[in-house]
Amino acid sequence: MRSLVLIMILAAGAGGLQAQQREAVRPDGAGTRGPYTPGIRHGNIVYASGQLGFRGNALVSGGIRAETRQALENLDRIFQASGTTIRNALKCSVFLTDMNDFAAMNEAYIAFFPDDPPARTTVAVAALPVPGARVEIDCIAAII
C-alpha cells in the first residue's frame, strides 16, 4: 500500500511539472544577435541568456566595471519583463576574457547583490561573440 501511495504522489508531481508552460521573455527593445531568446520563463523560474555590456547597438565605454554594470542591467530588464528582478537571482555565470579583470568585475557585481549574492561560477574564456567584449553574464532568477 505504501508503495502504491508513493507511486501516485510521484506521478502527480511529474504531471504537475509537465503542465507548466514555457514562455519566451523579450523585453521591449531587446533584440538578439543570434538564434536564442533573451529569457525563458518556466513556472516560477526565469532563465536569462548571457548578456554583454551593450547599450543599444554598442558596447558601453569605461572598461570592465561599466560592461559588468550594463550586462547586469540588461539581465534585470529581462527579469522585470518576466515579473521578477535581479535581486531574486539564484545562480549567475560570469565569463571573463581576462582574469585580471576579476576584482574590478566584482566591484561592479556586488552593487547589484549587496546581501546574500546568488551562487556563481566565474570562468576565463578565450573570446566572446562580440570582438572587444570583456564580460558576459547569464543568470537564473526566481519569481517570488
Does the residue 11 lie in any domain?
A: no
- Residue 30 belongs to a domain with what CATH number? 3.30.1330.40
Helix-helix angle 102-110:64-82, to 10 degrees: 40
Residue range 53-110, pLDDT digits in tens: 999 889 999 999 999 999 999 999 999 999 999 999 999 999 999 999 999 999 999 9
The arithmetic mean of pLDDT across residues 47-51, rounded, is 97
Reported pTM = 0.83
**DSSP labels for 48-115?**
EEEE-SEETTEEPSS-HHHHHHHHHHHHHHHHHHHT--GGGEEEEEEEES-GGGHHHHHHHHHTT-SS
Confidence of residue 5 (pLDDT cuts 50, 70, 90): very low
Does the residue 62 lie in any domain?
A: yes
Q: Who wins on pLDDT, 144 or 6?
A: 144
Q: How many domains does the chain have?
A: 1
Does the residue 48 lie in any domain?
A: yes
Does the residue 30 lie in any domain?
A: yes
Domain span holding position 92: 22-142
